Amino acid sequence: MKDKLTFNDAKKMYFKTIGQYIPVVSRVHGGKHPEFHEVRELFDIIGKKAREAGQKKPDLDREFARLREITSNYMVPGDVCESYEAVYKMLAEIDEAYRASEQA
């Protein structure tokens, strides 16, 4: 059975990598997938709020709801690179960890 990640664990595991991938993916795929520019903006907001909250849980309900909406629940388009897919996978795991911590 897979242990569930906490939001802080997911943040530590993924934020740096996502931060490195997003500018490249935005530049490469943003023309054909303009929604990715909003994904980038939302990730920037999530990162800022998470830094400001420290070890406390930030209020990211609206940001994750909007990410789920514009990404169709992190569905990866068929014409993108592995980095794009990785960003969506990591964001989905962070979102899941965030929502799981609400239920704890």
Domain regions of the chain by residue span: 7-103
How far from chain centre, in Å, is Cα 86?
A: 10
Q: Indicate the pTM of the whole model.
A: 0.92
CA 36, CA 27: separation in Å to the nearest integer?
10
For the chain (104 residues), the mean pLDDT of every run of 10, in chain order, is 78 96 96 96 97 92 98 96 97 96 65
